[in-house]
Structure 1
Amino acid sequence: MFQIPALSSKYRIYVPDLLFFGESISDSGEHSPEFQAECLAKGLKLLGVECCVVVAFSYRGIVEFWLAELQFDLVQHLVVSGSVVALTRSISDESLTRLGFVS
């Protein structure tokens, strides 16, 4: 959030809501990071974005790894922090246990 004003003087900045976050919704029951990446790619193409640098944190990083894999011609560079490459069941279970939850 704090980098946007500084970067927007030289770059076009897009900060989309992922589906089911913020105000974004979908009729699809699909919630996977891969589905999110596909939707994001479609949105960027509708905006006329042919290639981009993607910066992501946390869950969005997982989505952006998918975006880079599915649309390697679109993602020129990828910067991810505070994320894992993929959200697996073992990572989820381990995190929940560490936080004191059973499921």
Structure 2
Amino acid sequence: MTKILLACSAGMSTSLLVTNMQEEAKARGLDAEIWAVAQDKAESDMEKADVLLIGPQMRFMKRKYEKVAKDVGIPLDVIDAQAYGRVDGKAVIDHALNLIESK
């Protein structure tokens, strides 16, 4: 199972993106768990994830998360602002899978 964690400011603004990503994963036959949390919960949830994607409005948190991500052995990146704005589940899931594969 592929586990994709999204971090956003309050944990709610990415809910539609998560839904679109889940639908894309289902369409591909990909066994995936995709969830979003608020920034204060991201560090603890990284231990359960294969990748962390950060909402573009939180790009300033990337450095803070990098140490924890390195310690738990997962890649992380900021979600492309256009894909985020379009709520493009396909583009974001592609980015997550590419990060996992290149790990």
- Please give the TM-score of this superposition, normalised by the length of structure 1: 0.40
Q: Give 1 or 2: higher strand fraction.
A: 2
- Please give the TM-score of this superposition, normalised by the length of structure 2: 0.40
Q: Give 1 or 2: higher helix fraction.
A: 2
**Pair member with larger Rg:** 1
